Structure 1
Amino acid sequence: MGKKQLWMVIAGLIMINCLTVAFFLTRANEVGGAAINDETVATVGKKSISRQEWLNELETRYGKDVLKEMIDHKVVEEMAARYKIKVSDQDVEREFSMLQSTYNSFSSKNIQSEKKWKEQIRKTLLLEELLTKDVKVSEKELKGYYDKNKNLFNVPDAYHLSHIIVKTKKEAEKAAKELANGSNFSALAMERSIEEFSANEGGDIGYISVNDEQFPRVYIETAKKLKKGAYSKPVKVKAGYALLKLEGKMNGKNYTYSDVKEQIRRQIALEQMKSPASAAPFWDEAKVEWFYGRNK
Protein backbone atom coordinates (compact mmCIF):
# COMPACT_ATOMS: atom_id res chain seq x y z
CA MET A 1 0.00 0.00 0.00
CA GLY A 2 1.31 3.46 -0.93
CA LYS A 3 1.64 6.35 1.49
CA LYS A 4 -1.47 8.00 0.18
CA GLN A 5 -3.60 4.87 0.54
CA LEU A 6 -2.32 4.31 4.08
CA TRP A 7 -3.13 7.93 5.00
CA MET A 8 -6.68 7.46 3.77
CA VAL A 9 -7.09 4.33 5.84
CA ILE A 10 -6.02 6.23 8.94
CA ALA A 11 -8.22 9.19 8.02
CA GLY A 12 -11.18 6.90 7.53
CA LEU A 13 -10.74 5.29 10.92
CA ILE A 14 -10.38 8.71 12.57
CA MET A 15 -13.53 9.93 10.88
CA ILE A 16 -15.57 6.93 12.00
CA ASN A 17 -14.30 7.27 15.58
CA CYS A 18 -15.02 10.99 15.61
CA LEU A 19 -18.53 10.53 14.29
CA THR A 20 -19.15 7.95 17.01
CA VAL A 21 -18.01 10.34 19.73
CA ALA A 22 -20.00 13.18 18.16
CA PHE A 23 -23.10 11.00 18.36
CA PHE A 24 -22.70 10.58 22.10
CA LEU A 25 -21.98 14.26 22.63
CA THR A 26 -25.22 15.28 20.93
CA ARG A 27 -27.40 12.43 22.14
CA ALA A 28 -28.52 14.17 25.33
CA ASN A 29 -30.05 17.10 23.46
CA GLU A 30 -31.82 14.83 21.00
CA VAL A 31 -33.65 12.54 23.38
CA GLY A 32 -35.04 14.56 26.20
CA GLY A 33 -32.96 17.04 28.18
CA ALA A 34 -32.32 17.06 31.91
CA ALA A 35 -34.12 13.83 32.81
CA ILE A 36 -31.99 11.86 30.36
CA ASN A 37 -28.83 13.64 31.52
CA ASP A 38 -29.46 12.42 35.07
CA GLU A 39 -29.81 8.82 33.91
CA THR A 40 -27.31 6.42 35.49
CA VAL A 41 -25.05 4.72 32.95
CA ALA A 42 -22.95 2.74 35.44
CA THR A 43 -22.82 1.81 39.11
CA VAL A 44 -19.84 0.84 41.24
CA GLY A 45 -21.08 -0.48 44.55
CA LYS A 46 -23.22 2.32 45.99
CA LYS A 47 -21.73 4.97 43.69
CA SER A 48 -23.03 5.81 40.23
CA ILE A 49 -21.98 7.62 37.04
CA SER A 50 -24.63 9.74 35.37
CA ARG A 51 -25.03 10.20 31.64
CA GLN A 52 -24.16 13.89 32.04
CA GLU A 53 -20.89 13.08 33.85
CA TRP A 54 -20.01 10.68 31.06
CA LEU A 55 -20.84 13.20 28.32
CA ASN A 56 -18.84 15.91 30.10
CA GLU A 57 -15.81 13.61 30.19
CA LEU A 58 -16.20 12.77 26.50
CA GLU A 59 -16.41 16.44 25.62
CA THR A 60 -13.34 17.26 27.72
CA ARG A 61 -11.27 14.53 26.08
CA TYR A 62 -12.54 14.62 22.51
CA GLY A 63 -14.80 17.64 22.07
CA LYS A 64 -12.31 19.95 20.34
CA ASP A 65 -11.05 17.28 17.95
CA VAL A 66 -14.57 16.17 17.03
CA LEU A 67 -15.72 19.73 16.38
CA LYS A 68 -12.61 20.48 14.31
CA GLU A 69 -13.23 17.36 12.20
CA MET A 70 -16.83 18.44 11.57
CA ILE A 71 -15.72 21.97 10.66
CA ASP A 72 -13.08 20.62 8.27
CA HIS A 73 -15.72 18.60 6.43
CA LYS A 74 -17.96 21.67 6.07
CA VAL A 75 -15.01 23.79 4.91
CA VAL A 76 -14.07 21.25 2.25
CA GLU A 77 -17.66 21.12 0.99
CA GLU A 78 -17.96 24.91 0.82
CA MET A 79 -14.58 25.49 -0.83
CA ALA A 80 -15.17 22.71 -3.36
CA ALA A 81 -18.47 24.34 -4.33
CA ARG A 82 -16.83 27.79 -4.53
CA TYR A 83 -14.05 26.59 -6.85
CA LYS A 84 -16.39 24.25 -8.77
CA ILE A 85 -14.32 21.19 -7.86
CA LYS A 86 -16.01 17.81 -8.12
CA VAL A 87 -14.96 14.20 -7.63
CA SER A 88 -16.48 11.53 -9.85
CA ASP A 89 -18.03 8.33 -8.56
CA GLN A 90 -15.49 6.47 -10.69
CA ASP A 91 -12.62 8.10 -8.77
CA VAL A 92 -14.18 7.16 -5.44
CA GLU A 93 -14.83 3.58 -6.56
CA ARG A 94 -11.27 3.21 -7.88
CA GLU A 95 -9.74 4.40 -4.60
CA PHE A 96 -12.13 2.20 -2.63
CA SER A 97 -11.24 -0.84 -4.75
CA MET A 98 -7.53 -0.23 -4.20
CA LEU A 99 -8.05 -0.03 -0.45
CA GLN A 100 -10.43 -2.95 -0.40
CA SER A 101 -7.94 -5.24 -2.13
CA THR A 102 -5.07 -4.32 0.18
CA TYR A 103 -6.73 -3.77 3.56
CA ASN A 104 -8.69 -6.80 4.74
CA SER A 105 -10.93 -5.06 7.31
CA PHE A 106 -13.51 -4.20 4.64
CA SER A 107 -16.62 -6.33 4.79
CA SER A 108 -19.56 -6.28 2.42
CA LYS A 109 -21.71 -7.40 5.35
CA ASN A 110 -21.38 -3.91 6.80
CA ILE A 111 -22.85 -1.68 4.10
CA GLN A 112 -23.04 1.29 6.48
CA SER A 113 -19.29 1.06 7.07
CA GLU A 114 -18.70 0.95 3.31
CA LYS A 115 -20.73 4.13 2.88
CA LYS A 116 -18.65 5.89 5.53
CA TRP A 117 -15.41 4.81 3.89
CA LYS A 118 -16.59 6.10 0.51
CA GLU A 119 -17.77 9.36 2.05
CA GLN A 120 -14.34 9.83 3.64
CA ILE A 121 -12.59 8.98 0.36
CA ARG A 122 -14.69 11.60 -1.46
CA LYS A 123 -13.88 14.23 1.16
CA THR A 124 -10.18 13.34 1.02
CA LEU A 125 -10.09 13.60 -2.77
CA LEU A 126 -11.90 16.96 -2.68
CA LEU A 127 -9.40 18.27 -0.13
CA GLU A 128 -6.47 17.06 -2.23
CA GLU A 129 -7.94 18.74 -5.31
CA LEU A 130 -8.36 22.00 -3.37
CA LEU A 131 -4.81 21.93 -2.01
CA THR A 132 -3.27 21.16 -5.41
CA LYS A 133 -5.64 23.08 -7.73
CA ASP A 134 -2.93 25.54 -8.81
CA VAL A 135 -0.07 23.03 -9.07
CA LYS A 136 1.13 22.08 -12.55
CA VAL A 137 3.02 18.85 -13.16
CA SER A 138 4.60 18.08 -16.52
CA GLU A 139 3.32 15.24 -18.70
CA LYS A 140 6.81 13.73 -18.63
CA GLU A 141 6.87 13.62 -14.83
CA LEU A 142 3.35 12.17 -14.64
CA LYS A 143 4.10 9.43 -17.17
CA GLY A 144 7.44 8.68 -15.52
CA TYR A 145 5.76 8.21 -12.14
CA TYR A 146 3.18 5.85 -13.68
CA ASP A 147 5.77 3.75 -15.49
CA LYS A 148 7.86 3.48 -12.32
CA ASN A 149 4.93 2.59 -10.05
CA LYS A 150 2.59 0.55 -12.23
CA ASN A 151 2.24 -2.05 -9.50
CA LEU A 152 0.43 0.53 -7.34
CA PHE A 153 -2.32 0.74 -9.94
CA ASN A 154 -2.74 -2.99 -10.58
CA VAL A 155 -5.50 -4.24 -8.30
CA PRO A 156 -5.43 -8.05 -7.91
CA ASP A 157 -8.45 -10.30 -7.43
CA ALA A 158 -9.63 -10.19 -3.82
CA TYR A 159 -11.71 -12.75 -1.97
CA HIS A 160 -14.07 -11.96 0.89
CA LEU A 161 -13.70 -14.86 3.32
CA SER A 162 -14.95 -16.08 6.66
CA HIS A 163 -13.18 -18.80 8.58
CA ILE A 164 -13.54 -21.13 11.53
CA ILE A 165 -10.30 -22.26 13.14
CA VAL A 166 -10.19 -25.24 15.52
CA LYS A 167 -7.27 -27.14 17.03
CA THR A 168 -7.77 -30.64 15.62
CA LYS A 169 -8.85 -32.24 12.35
CA LYS A 170 -11.53 -34.17 14.26
CA GLU A 171 -13.07 -30.89 15.50
CA ALA A 172 -12.92 -29.46 11.97
CA GLU A 173 -14.65 -32.50 10.49
CA LYS A 174 -17.34 -32.29 13.17
CA ALA A 175 -17.92 -28.60 12.35
CA ALA A 176 -18.05 -29.41 8.63
CA LYS A 177 -20.68 -32.06 9.30
CA GLU A 178 -22.78 -29.58 11.30
CA LEU A 179 -22.57 -27.10 8.41
CA ALA A 180 -23.68 -29.81 5.99
CA ASN A 181 -26.68 -30.42 8.25
CA GLY A 182 -27.70 -26.78 8.07
CA SER A 183 -25.83 -25.02 10.87
CA ASN A 184 -25.10 -21.34 10.34
CA PHE A 185 -21.43 -20.65 9.53
CA SER A 186 -21.36 -17.32 11.37
CA ALA A 187 -22.96 -18.73 14.52
CA LEU A 188 -20.62 -21.74 14.47
CA ALA A 189 -17.60 -19.45 14.11
CA MET A 190 -18.65 -17.44 17.16
CA GLU A 191 -19.15 -20.65 19.12
CA ARG A 192 -16.18 -22.76 18.01
CA SER A 193 -13.41 -20.71 16.41
CA ILE A 194 -10.29 -20.28 18.53
CA GLU A 195 -9.29 -17.12 16.63
CA GLU A 196 -11.13 -14.66 18.89
CA PHE A 197 -10.91 -11.49 16.81
CA SER A 198 -12.68 -12.95 13.77
CA ALA A 199 -14.92 -15.18 15.91
CA ASN A 200 -16.52 -12.05 17.34
CA GLU A 201 -17.34 -11.06 13.74
CA GLY A 202 -18.87 -14.42 12.91
CA GLY A 203 -15.60 -15.57 11.35
CA ASP A 204 -15.50 -12.68 8.87
CA ILE A 205 -11.92 -11.71 7.88
CA GLY A 206 -12.84 -9.31 5.07
CA TYR A 207 -11.09 -9.25 1.69
CA ILE A 208 -7.72 -10.87 1.11
CA SER A 209 -5.71 -10.93 -2.11
CA VAL A 210 -2.70 -12.76 -3.52
CA ASN A 211 -0.47 -10.06 -2.01
CA ASP A 212 -1.85 -10.48 1.52
CA GLU A 213 0.78 -11.83 3.91
CA GLN A 214 -1.43 -11.91 6.99
CA PHE A 215 -3.12 -15.19 6.07
CA PRO A 216 -1.73 -18.53 4.81
CA ARG A 217 -1.29 -18.94 1.06
CA VAL A 218 -3.69 -21.89 1.23
CA TYR A 219 -6.53 -19.42 1.88
CA ILE A 220 -6.21 -17.92 -1.61
CA GLU A 221 -5.67 -21.30 -3.23
CA THR A 222 -8.81 -22.63 -1.54
CA ALA A 223 -10.88 -19.52 -2.24
CA LYS A 224 -10.20 -19.79 -5.98
CA LYS A 225 -11.95 -23.18 -6.01
CA LEU A 226 -15.04 -22.11 -4.06
CA LYS A 227 -18.33 -20.73 -5.34
CA LYS A 228 -19.93 -17.81 -3.51
CA GLY A 229 -21.65 -19.04 -0.35
CA ALA A 230 -19.80 -22.36 -0.34
CA TYR A 231 -17.39 -23.55 2.33
CA SER A 232 -14.26 -25.68 2.13
CA LYS A 233 -13.14 -28.95 3.57
CA PRO A 234 -10.79 -28.66 6.56
CA VAL A 235 -7.41 -27.21 5.58
CA LYS A 236 -4.26 -27.40 7.68
CA VAL A 237 -3.02 -24.10 9.11
CA LYS A 238 -0.47 -23.15 11.76
CA ALA A 239 -3.03 -22.92 14.58
CA GLY A 240 -4.77 -26.18 13.66
CA TYR A 241 -7.43 -26.61 10.96
CA ALA A 242 -9.58 -24.06 9.17
CA LEU A 243 -12.92 -24.14 7.38
CA LEU A 244 -13.29 -21.33 4.83
CA LYS A 245 -16.42 -19.78 3.39
CA LEU A 246 -16.39 -17.58 0.29
CA GLU A 247 -18.61 -14.57 0.96
CA GLY A 248 -17.81 -12.84 -2.32
CA LYS A 249 -15.15 -11.95 -4.86
CA MET A 250 -13.88 -8.65 -6.26
CA ASN A 251 -12.34 -8.92 -9.71
CA GLY A 252 -8.98 -7.21 -10.08
CA LYS A 253 -8.21 -4.48 -12.58
CA ASN A 254 -5.14 -2.90 -14.12
CA TYR A 255 -5.70 0.85 -14.30
CA THR A 256 -4.33 2.68 -17.32
CA TYR A 257 -2.35 5.90 -17.27
CA SER A 258 -5.40 7.92 -18.29
CA ASP A 259 -7.42 6.33 -15.45
CA VAL A 260 -5.00 7.52 -12.76
CA LYS A 261 -3.36 10.58 -14.32
CA GLU A 262 -5.10 13.05 -11.99
CA GLN A 263 -4.45 10.84 -8.99
CA ILE A 264 -0.74 10.89 -9.81
CA ARG A 265 -0.78 14.68 -10.26
CA ARG A 266 -2.29 15.10 -6.80
CA GLN A 267 0.19 12.65 -5.28
CA ILE A 268 3.23 14.41 -6.74
CA ALA A 269 1.87 17.84 -5.78
CA LEU A 270 1.18 16.77 -2.20
CA GLU A 271 4.68 15.32 -1.86
CA GLN A 272 6.11 18.64 -3.04
CA MET A 273 4.10 20.49 -0.38
CA LYS A 274 5.83 18.47 2.38
CA SER A 275 3.02 19.17 4.83
CA PRO A 276 0.03 17.12 6.00
CA ALA A 277 -3.14 17.41 3.92
CA SER A 278 -5.38 19.68 5.99
CA ALA A 279 -8.40 21.95 5.50
CA ALA A 280 -6.87 24.50 7.91
CA PRO A 281 -5.50 26.79 5.13
CA PHE A 282 -9.09 27.42 3.99
CA TRP A 283 -10.56 28.30 7.39
CA ASP A 284 -10.07 32.04 6.99
CA GLU A 285 -11.50 32.03 3.48
CA ALA A 286 -14.51 30.06 4.72
CA LYS A 287 -14.89 32.55 7.63
CA VAL A 288 -14.87 29.90 10.32
CA GLU A 289 -15.80 30.92 13.85
CA TRP A 290 -16.00 28.33 16.57
CA PHE A 291 -16.27 27.70 20.29
CA TYR A 292 -12.47 27.52 20.77
CA GLY A 293 -11.70 30.86 19.11
CA ARG A 294 -9.55 31.36 16.03
CA ASN A 295 -6.66 29.14 17.04
CA LYS A 296 -6.80 26.06 14.81
Structure 2
Amino acid sequence: MGKKQLWMVIAGLIMLNCLTVAFFLTKVSETSGALMNDEAVATIGKNTISRQDWLNELEARYGKDVLKEMIDQKVIEEMAAKYDIKISDRDVDREYRMLQTTYNSFSSKKQADEKKWKQQIRSNLLLEELLTKDVEVSKKELNSYYEKNKDLFDVPAAYHISHIVVKTKKEATKALKELAHGSSFSALAMERSNDEFSANEGGDIGYISEEDERNPVIYLQTAKKLKKGKYSKPLKVEQGYALIKLDGKISGVTYSFAEVKDQIRREIALDQMKKPASAATFWDDAKVDWFYGKDKETN
Protein backbone atom coordinates (compact mmCIF):
# COMPACT_ATOMS: atom_id res chain seq x y z
CA MET A 1 0.00 0.00 0.00
CA GLY A 2 1.51 3.26 -1.08
CA LYS A 3 5.15 4.11 -1.66
CA LYS A 4 6.61 1.66 0.81
CA GLN A 5 5.03 -1.40 -0.75
CA LEU A 6 5.85 -0.21 -4.28
CA TRP A 7 9.48 0.25 -3.22
CA MET A 8 9.50 -3.24 -1.83
CA VAL A 9 8.15 -4.71 -5.05
CA ILE A 10 10.77 -2.94 -7.12
CA ALA A 11 13.51 -3.97 -4.70
CA GLY A 12 12.31 -7.56 -4.83
CA LEU A 13 12.32 -7.62 -8.62
CA ILE A 14 15.78 -6.10 -8.78
CA MET A 15 17.06 -8.56 -6.21
CA LEU A 16 15.65 -11.59 -8.01
CA ASN A 17 17.04 -10.42 -11.35
CA CYS A 18 20.46 -9.73 -9.88
CA LEU A 19 20.61 -13.06 -8.11
CA THR A 20 19.63 -14.80 -11.33
CA VAL A 21 22.51 -13.18 -13.20
CA ALA A 22 24.90 -13.88 -10.32
CA PHE A 23 23.86 -17.52 -10.20
CA PHE A 24 24.35 -17.86 -13.96
CA LEU A 25 27.79 -16.31 -13.90
CA THR A 26 28.83 -18.42 -10.92
CA LYS A 27 27.66 -21.70 -12.43
CA VAL A 28 29.43 -20.99 -15.69
CA SER A 29 32.68 -20.08 -13.95
CA GLU A 30 32.54 -23.28 -11.92
CA THR A 31 31.91 -25.60 -14.83
CA SER A 32 33.63 -23.89 -17.75
CA GLY A 33 37.15 -24.46 -18.93
CA ALA A 34 39.07 -22.62 -21.62
CA LEU A 35 37.49 -24.64 -24.41
CA MET A 36 33.98 -23.91 -23.19
CA ASN A 37 34.75 -20.19 -22.89
CA ASP A 38 35.91 -20.19 -26.52
CA GLU A 39 32.65 -21.81 -27.58
CA ALA A 40 30.58 -19.65 -29.94
CA VAL A 41 27.21 -18.63 -28.51
CA ALA A 42 26.20 -16.87 -31.74
CA THR A 43 27.33 -16.70 -35.34
CA ILE A 44 26.73 -13.76 -37.69
CA GLY A 45 27.86 -14.80 -41.13
CA LYS A 46 31.57 -15.54 -40.73
CA ASN A 47 31.77 -13.71 -37.39
CA THR A 48 31.16 -15.27 -33.98
CA ILE A 49 30.52 -14.19 -30.42
CA SER A 50 32.33 -16.39 -27.93
CA ARG A 51 30.97 -17.41 -24.57
CA GLN A 52 33.82 -15.53 -22.88
CA ASP A 53 33.01 -12.30 -24.76
CA TRP A 54 29.39 -12.70 -23.73
CA LEU A 55 30.30 -13.27 -20.07
CA ASN A 56 32.67 -10.29 -20.10
CA GLU A 57 29.84 -8.09 -21.36
CA LEU A 58 27.47 -9.42 -18.70
CA GLU A 59 30.02 -8.70 -16.00
CA ALA A 60 30.68 -5.20 -17.35
CA ARG A 61 26.97 -4.39 -17.39
CA TYR A 62 25.73 -6.13 -14.27
CA GLY A 63 28.74 -7.29 -12.26
CA LYS A 64 28.97 -4.29 -9.95
CA ASP A 65 25.23 -4.24 -9.20
CA VAL A 66 25.13 -7.98 -8.57
CA LEU A 67 28.11 -7.87 -6.23
CA LYS A 68 26.67 -4.89 -4.34
CA GLU A 69 23.36 -6.72 -3.84
CA MET A 70 25.21 -9.77 -2.51
CA ILE A 71 27.29 -7.62 -0.15
CA ASP A 72 24.22 -5.74 1.07
CA GLN A 73 22.50 -8.99 1.97
CA LYS A 74 25.49 -10.19 3.99
CA VAL A 75 25.85 -6.79 5.67
CA ILE A 76 22.19 -6.77 6.72
CA GLU A 77 22.49 -10.30 8.10
CA GLU A 78 25.64 -9.52 10.08
CA MET A 79 24.37 -6.20 11.47
CA ALA A 80 21.03 -7.73 12.43
CA ALA A 81 22.87 -10.44 14.35
CA LYS A 82 25.18 -7.87 15.98
CA TYR A 83 22.26 -5.79 17.28
CA ASP A 84 20.04 -8.81 17.95
CA ILE A 85 17.32 -7.62 15.56
CA LYS A 86 14.79 -10.15 14.36
CA ILE A 87 11.70 -10.03 12.15
CA SER A 88 8.79 -12.33 12.92
CA ASP A 89 7.25 -14.62 10.34
CA ARG A 90 3.95 -12.88 11.05
CA ASP A 91 5.37 -9.53 9.91
CA VAL A 92 6.81 -11.09 6.77
CA ASP A 93 3.52 -12.85 5.97
CA ARG A 94 1.58 -9.61 6.46
CA GLU A 95 3.81 -7.70 4.05
CA TYR A 96 3.67 -10.54 1.53
CA ARG A 97 -0.12 -10.58 1.75
CA MET A 98 -0.21 -6.84 1.11
CA LEU A 99 2.00 -7.26 -1.92
CA GLN A 100 -0.16 -10.04 -3.31
CA THR A 101 -3.37 -8.05 -3.03
CA THR A 102 -2.05 -4.69 -4.21
CA TYR A 103 0.35 -5.68 -6.98
CA ASN A 104 -1.72 -7.54 -9.52
CA SER A 105 1.23 -8.92 -11.51
CA PHE A 106 1.68 -11.72 -8.96
CA SER A 107 1.14 -14.64 -11.33
CA SER A 108 1.39 -18.32 -10.49
CA LYS A 109 5.00 -18.43 -11.68
CA LYS A 110 5.91 -15.56 -9.36
CA GLN A 111 4.06 -17.29 -6.56
CA ALA A 112 6.31 -20.30 -7.13
CA ASP A 113 9.10 -17.96 -5.96
CA GLU A 114 7.26 -17.17 -2.71
CA LYS A 115 10.29 -18.19 -0.67
CA LYS A 116 12.51 -15.69 -2.51
CA TRP A 117 9.96 -12.91 -2.15
CA LYS A 118 9.66 -13.53 1.58
CA GLN A 119 13.43 -13.61 1.98
CA GLN A 120 13.62 -10.21 0.28
CA ILE A 121 10.80 -8.83 2.43
CA ARG A 122 12.55 -10.05 5.58
CA SER A 123 15.79 -8.44 4.43
CA ASN A 124 14.02 -5.13 3.71
CA LEU A 125 12.36 -5.14 7.14
CA LEU A 126 15.64 -5.97 8.87
CA LEU A 127 17.30 -3.06 7.08
CA GLU A 128 14.50 -0.71 8.14
CA GLU A 129 14.82 -1.88 11.74
CA LEU A 130 18.59 -1.37 11.63
CA LEU A 131 18.27 2.14 10.24
CA THR A 132 15.63 3.15 12.79
CA LYS A 133 16.78 1.17 15.85
CA ASP A 134 17.71 4.31 17.81
CA VAL A 135 14.66 6.37 16.82
CA GLU A 136 11.90 6.72 19.39
CA VAL A 137 8.33 7.55 18.40
CA SER A 138 5.71 8.30 21.04
CA LYS A 139 2.67 6.06 21.42
CA LYS A 140 0.49 9.13 20.83
CA GLU A 141 2.15 9.73 17.46
CA LEU A 142 1.84 6.06 16.53
CA ASN A 143 -1.86 6.04 17.41
CA SER A 144 -2.47 9.27 15.53
CA TYR A 145 -0.82 7.87 12.40
CA TYR A 146 -2.88 4.70 12.60
CA GLU A 147 -6.18 6.56 13.02
CA LYS A 148 -5.42 8.88 10.10
CA ASN A 149 -4.27 6.07 7.80
CA LYS A 150 -6.46 3.12 8.74
CA ASP A 151 -7.26 2.46 5.10
CA LEU A 152 -3.58 1.63 4.52
CA PHE A 153 -3.97 -1.36 6.81
CA ASP A 154 -7.17 -2.67 5.26
CA VAL A 155 -6.19 -5.45 2.86
CA PRO A 156 -9.07 -6.00 0.44
CA ALA A 157 -10.23 -9.40 -0.72
CA ALA A 158 -8.30 -10.32 -3.85
CA TYR A 159 -9.03 -12.82 -6.58
CA HIS A 160 -6.34 -14.61 -8.54
CA ILE A 161 -7.60 -15.06 -12.08
CA SER A 162 -6.61 -16.12 -15.56
CA HIS A 163 -8.34 -15.07 -18.74
CA ILE A 164 -8.72 -15.87 -22.42
CA VAL A 165 -9.50 -12.90 -24.65
CA VAL A 166 -10.81 -13.41 -28.20
CA LYS A 167 -12.40 -11.12 -30.77
CA THR A 168 -15.84 -12.69 -31.20
CA LYS A 169 -18.49 -14.34 -29.07
CA LYS A 170 -18.37 -17.30 -31.44
CA GLU A 171 -14.69 -17.86 -30.63
CA ALA A 172 -15.40 -17.52 -26.92
CA THR A 173 -18.25 -20.01 -27.09
CA LYS A 174 -16.06 -22.47 -28.96
CA ALA A 175 -13.36 -22.16 -26.30
CA LEU A 176 -16.00 -22.66 -23.60
CA LYS A 177 -17.12 -25.92 -25.21
CA GLU A 178 -13.52 -27.14 -25.41
CA LEU A 179 -13.07 -26.38 -21.72
CA ALA A 180 -16.23 -28.34 -20.95
CA HIS A 181 -14.72 -31.30 -22.79
CA GLY A 182 -11.58 -31.23 -20.68
CA SER A 183 -9.24 -28.84 -22.49
CA SER A 184 -6.69 -27.01 -20.34
CA PHE A 185 -7.54 -23.35 -19.66
CA SER A 186 -3.86 -22.34 -19.69
CA ALA A 187 -3.20 -24.22 -22.93
CA LEU A 188 -6.17 -22.55 -24.64
CA ALA A 189 -5.01 -19.15 -23.35
CA MET A 190 -1.55 -19.68 -24.83
CA GLU A 191 -3.08 -20.83 -28.10
CA ARG A 192 -6.07 -18.50 -28.52
CA SER A 193 -5.84 -15.43 -26.27
CA ASN A 194 -5.26 -12.07 -27.93
CA ASP A 195 -3.72 -10.67 -24.76
CA GLU A 196 -0.07 -11.28 -25.57
CA PHE A 197 1.14 -10.25 -22.10
CA SER A 198 -0.83 -12.94 -20.28
CA ALA A 199 -1.01 -15.55 -23.05
CA ASN A 200 2.57 -16.67 -22.41
CA GLU A 201 1.62 -17.11 -18.75
CA GLY A 202 -1.29 -19.35 -19.60
CA GLY A 203 -3.69 -16.43 -19.26
CA ASP A 204 -2.59 -15.64 -15.69
CA ILE A 205 -3.07 -11.95 -14.82
CA GLY A 206 -2.45 -12.23 -11.09
CA TYR A 207 -4.66 -10.80 -8.36
CA ILE A 208 -7.45 -8.27 -8.82
CA SER A 209 -9.37 -6.40 -6.12
CA GLU A 210 -11.65 -3.42 -5.64
CA GLU A 211 -8.61 -1.16 -6.04
CA ASP A 212 -7.70 -2.67 -9.41
CA GLU A 213 -8.11 -0.30 -12.36
CA ARG A 214 -6.28 -2.29 -15.01
CA ASN A 215 -8.94 -4.87 -15.75
CA PRO A 216 -12.64 -4.67 -16.65
CA VAL A 217 -14.97 -4.21 -13.67
CA ILE A 218 -16.93 -7.24 -14.84
CA TYR A 219 -13.89 -9.41 -14.04
CA LEU A 220 -14.16 -8.70 -10.33
CA GLN A 221 -17.95 -8.96 -10.34
CA THR A 222 -17.73 -12.35 -12.00
CA ALA A 223 -14.80 -13.64 -9.93
CA LYS A 224 -16.78 -13.06 -6.74
CA LYS A 225 -19.38 -15.56 -7.93
CA LEU A 226 -16.98 -18.26 -9.10
CA LYS A 227 -15.64 -21.18 -7.12
CA LYS A 228 -11.92 -21.93 -7.21
CA GLY A 229 -10.97 -23.73 -10.42
CA LYS A 230 -14.18 -22.76 -12.22
CA TYR A 231 -14.49 -20.50 -15.25
CA SER A 232 -17.06 -18.02 -16.51
CA LYS A 233 -19.30 -17.77 -19.51
CA PRO A 234 -18.20 -15.34 -22.27
CA LEU A 235 -17.94 -11.78 -20.95
CA LYS A 236 -18.19 -8.71 -23.20
CA VAL A 237 -15.03 -6.62 -22.88
CA GLU A 238 -13.39 -3.81 -24.83
CA GLN A 239 -11.14 -6.20 -26.77
CA GLY A 240 -14.02 -8.53 -27.68
CA TYR A 241 -15.04 -11.39 -25.39
CA ALA A 242 -13.30 -13.00 -22.45
CA LEU A 243 -13.48 -16.12 -20.32
CA ILE A 244 -12.06 -15.87 -16.82
CA LYS A 245 -11.02 -18.61 -14.41
CA LEU A 246 -10.70 -18.25 -10.65
CA ASP A 247 -7.33 -19.66 -9.57
CA GLY A 248 -7.55 -18.63 -5.94
CA LYS A 249 -8.74 -16.05 -3.43
CA ILE A 250 -7.26 -14.13 -0.51
CA SER A 251 -9.80 -13.00 2.06
CA GLY A 252 -9.78 -9.36 3.12
CA VAL A 253 -8.40 -8.41 6.53
CA THR A 254 -8.05 -5.31 8.67
CA TYR A 255 -4.89 -5.16 10.75
CA SER A 256 -5.17 -3.82 14.29
CA PHE A 257 -2.93 -1.13 15.77
CA ALA A 258 -1.07 -3.74 17.81
CA GLU A 259 -0.27 -5.72 14.67
CA VAL A 260 1.17 -2.79 12.71
CA LYS A 261 2.59 -0.43 15.34
CA ASP A 262 6.18 -1.56 14.59
CA GLN A 263 5.61 -0.97 10.90
CA ILE A 264 4.23 2.50 11.65
CA ARG A 265 7.23 3.33 13.84
CA ARG A 266 9.59 2.38 11.04
CA GLU A 267 7.69 4.42 8.47
CA ILE A 268 7.62 7.54 10.66
CA ALA A 269 11.29 7.15 11.54
CA LEU A 270 12.37 6.61 7.93
CA ASP A 271 10.35 9.64 6.85
CA GLN A 272 12.16 11.74 9.43
CA MET A 273 15.52 10.54 8.14
CA LYS A 274 14.83 12.03 4.70
CA LYS A 275 17.18 9.65 2.93
CA PRO A 276 16.82 6.34 1.06
CA ALA A 277 17.02 3.09 3.00
CA SER A 278 20.44 1.68 2.13
CA ALA A 279 22.59 -1.08 3.57
CA ALA A 280 25.64 0.96 2.49
CA THR A 281 25.17 2.90 5.74
CA PHE A 282 26.62 -0.11 7.58
CA TRP A 283 29.45 -1.01 5.20
CA ASP A 284 32.12 0.62 7.35
CA ASP A 285 30.79 -1.04 10.48
CA ALA A 286 30.80 -4.39 8.67
CA LYS A 287 34.35 -3.73 7.37
CA VAL A 288 33.42 -4.25 3.73
CA ASP A 289 36.27 -4.42 1.23
CA TRP A 290 35.32 -5.18 -2.34
CA PHE A 291 36.57 -5.36 -5.91
CA TYR A 292 35.40 -1.81 -6.72
CA GLY A 293 37.20 -0.15 -3.81
CA LYS A 294 35.63 2.47 -1.56
CA ASP A 295 32.85 3.49 -3.98
CA LYS A 296 29.53 2.18 -2.69
CA GLU A 297 27.30 3.76 -5.29
CA THR A 298 26.00 2.07 -8.40
CA ASN A 299 25.11 3.68 -11.70
TM-score range, shorter chain: over 0.9
Instruction: Return the alpha-carbon distance in structure 2 between the equivalents of residues 184 and 112 of structure 1.
Output: 20
- What is the match of residue 267 of structure 1? 267
- 1:20 maps to amino acid: T
- What is the match of residue 173 of structure 1? 173
What's the CA shift for 1:46?
1.7
Counterpart check, 1:69 vs 2:38: no
Q: TM-score, normalised by structure 1?
A: 0.98
Instruction: Return the alpha-carbon distance in structure 1 between the equivalents of residues 112 and 217 of structure 2.
Output: 30
Which 10-residue stretch deviates more, 2-11 or 40-49? 40-49
- What is the match of residue 130 of structure 1? 130
Counterpart check, 1:256 vs 2:253: no
Counterpart check, 1:147 vs 2:147: yes
Instruction: Return the alpha-carbon distance in structure 2 between the equivalents of residues 53 and 149 of structure 1.
Output: 53
Instruction: Return the alpha-carbon distance in structure 1 between the equivalents of residues 136 and 294 of structure 2.
Output: 32
Extract unaligned runs of 5+ from structure 2.
none
Instruction: Return the alpha-carbon distance in structure 1 between the equivalents of residues 47 and 4 of structure 2.
Output: 48
State how many pairs are aligned: 296
Instruction: Return the alpha-carbon distance in structure 1 between the equivalents of residues 221 and 195 of structure 2.
Output: 21
Q: Secondary structure at the match of 2:249?
A: strand
Give aligned-pair identity as a percent: 74
Q: TM-score, normalised by structure 2?
A: 0.97
What's the CA shift for 1:32?
2.9
What's the CA shift for 1:51?
1.1
Counterpart check, 1:292 vs 2:292: yes
Where does structure 1 differ by over 4 angstroms across 4 or more consecutive aligned residues? none
8 Å CA contact retained: 2:103, 2:207: yes
Q: Secondary structure at the match of 1:259?
A: helix
Instruction: Return the alpha-carbon distance in structure 2 between the equivalents of residues 179 and 236 of structure 1.
Output: 18
What's the CA shift for 1:177?
0.5
What's the CA shift for 1:109?
4.4
Q: How does 1:146-295 map to 2 (within 5 A)?
A: 146-295=146-295
8 Å CA contact retained: 2:169, 2:241: yes
8 Å CA contact retained: 1:106, 1:114: no
- 1:35 maps to amino acid: L
Extract unaligned runs of 5+ from structure 1.
none
8 Å CA contact retained: 2:235, 2:243: yes
- 1:51 maps to amino acid: R
8 Å CA contact retained: 2:108, 2:204: no
Instruction: Return the alpha-carbon distance in structure 1 between the equivalents of residues 72 and 290 of structure 2.
Output: 12
Say if 1:110 and 1:4 are closer, same or farther in 2 by CA, change over 3 A.
Answer: closer
